[in-house]
Amino acid sequence: MSDNHALQQAPQDTRTDVLLIDDSITDLQLLMQMMTLRDLRISVALDGSRGYQQAVLLRPGLVLLDVHMPVMDGFATCRRLKANPLTRDIPVIFLTGANDLRERLEGFAAGGVDYIGKPFEDLEVLARVGVHLHRASSSPELAISPLTSDEAGDKSTEDSALFAAAQKVLRDTVANPPDLERLARLLGTNRRRLNEVFQALSGQPVFGWLREERLRLAYTLVSKSNTSFSKIGDMLGYSTQSNFTKAFRSRYGFTPSKVRHQLTGQWQADDS
């Protein structure tokens, strides 16, 4: 076999260093120009849904993700990326023109590692990209070959990632969860699909799962802590201690006081 033929048969390196996800063509063009200064291999997506799919397929070293996009915004995209085992270790830098502390905190809570403000400053963009690419390059979790399109599109993987992302949001907001419509928006999906995924993977609709999760957490707190029952009820979103005690007894057959006394020898009145 000739050297030229061997070169033709050699697999091409299709790895992407940076995935840019932004619905602004102007901003994408600016970022692409900056990335070429560092000789970085880039891929581009114009919305969060396609960006998520490309991240699963390509598993880039870094994602630059616009916050404000229609349908599936940056926060929803990031939550989905962080819930998928194939993409959860990819660092995400948010792009935003807002200087809102609450928005930045929401981004960090969703799993972002950094923010880059708009309008872009070349030196800042390249510096932040360089730092996070260097960190990612030393992570063994990212040293994985890109997937085939069939593997990336596996429905069971997608459903599991959506399920995990929704579970995290609900656990983080267990005392005051979003309604189903808002939860779906937070994850870039719709109410029907979300309930179908929960039904398939847990055997319950979304808020049926949440009700069981609250009671599971309640049992752990009752049996393994000295936290007062009124405090536990507040932490888990029950309007009164009486409602908490009633739900707990209905699920486990005993009051919180009875369970704590049996397991720890401590007694606390239910006041119900």
Q: How many CB atoms lie within 10 A of CB 117?
A: 14
Taking the C-alpha atoms of residue 59 and residue 61, their distance in angstroms, rounded to an integer, is: 7
The structure tokens listed for 115 are 């923010």
Domain presence at residue 269: no
pLDDT in tens, 96-133: 987 788 888 899 999 999 999 999 999 999 999 998 98
**Cis bond leading into 205, ω under 30°?**
no
Q: Domain check: are 124 and 10 in the same one?
A: yes
25: in domain: yes
Same domain, yes or no: 23 and 135:
yes
Q: Domain check: are 114 and 182 in the same one?
A: no
User: Do 191 and 77 have their domain in common?
Assistant: no
CA distances from 4 to 8, 9, 122 (A): 6, 9, 40
Residue 5 has pLDDT above 80, yes or no: no
Using 50, 70 and 90 to split pLDDT, how confident is the model at 266?
A: low
202 vs 211: CA distance, rounded Å? 12
As a whole number, the mean pLDDT across the chain is: 86
- pLDDT class of 38 with cuts at 50, 70, 90: confident
Select from 188, 206, 224 the last residue of a domain. 206
For position 13, which CATH number holds?
3.40.50.2300
How many domains does the chain divide into?
3
The predicted pLDDT at position 222 comes to: 92
One domain for residues 39 and 26: yes
Domain termination residue (choose one: 206, 227, 244): 206
In a domain, 170, yes or no: yes
Q: Are 77 and 189 in contact (CB under 8 A)?
A: no
Cβ contacts of 224 within 8 Å, gap of 6 or more: none
* DSSP string over 177-209: PPPHHHHHHHTTS-HHHHHHHHHHHHSS-HHHH
11 and 47 share a domain? Answer: yes
Using the 3D structure, point to which of 163, 187, 206 is the last residue of a domain.
206
Query: Domain for residue 96, yes or no?
Result: yes
Question: What pLDDT, on the 0 to 100 scale, is given for residue 8?
Answer: 43
Provide the pLDDT for residue 249.
93
Residue 32: inside a domain? yes
Look-up of token digits 């979304």 = 206
In this structure, is residue 250 part of a structural domain?
Answer: yes
Q: Are residues 188 and 131 in the same domain?
A: no
As a dihedral over the C-alpha atoms of residue 225, residue 227, residue 228, residue 232, rounded to 10 degrees, the angle is -100
Could you tell me if 46 and 24 are in contact, meaning their C-beta atoms sit under 8 angstroms apart? Answer: no
**Do 112 and 12 share a structural domain?**
yes
Same domain membership, residue 251 and residue 121: no
Q: Identity (one letter) of the amino acid at 249?
A: R
Helix, strand, coil percentages (3-state) for the chain, rounded to 5, are: 60, 10, 35
pLDDT band at 6 (very low <50, low <70, confident <90, very high): very low
Q: Which residue has the higher pLDDT, 40 or 145?
A: 40
What residue type is assigned to position 240 of the chain? T
- 169: which 2 tokens? 């949001």
Reported as a pLDDT band with limits 50, 70 and 90, residue 82 is very high
Q: What is the CATH number of the domain that holds 228?
A: 1.10.10.60
Domain that holds residue 255: 208-264
Does 150 have pLDDT greater than 90? no
Q: Is residue 272 part of a domain?
A: no
d(CA 103, CA 270): 40
The beta-strand segments (E) located in 86-215 are 92-96, 114-117
Same domain, 170 and 238: no
Is the overall model pTM greater than 0.75, yes or no? Answer: no
Kindly state the percentage of the chain with pLDDT values over 70: 85
Q: Are residues 15 and 127 in the same domain?
A: yes
- Same domain for 20 and 60: yes
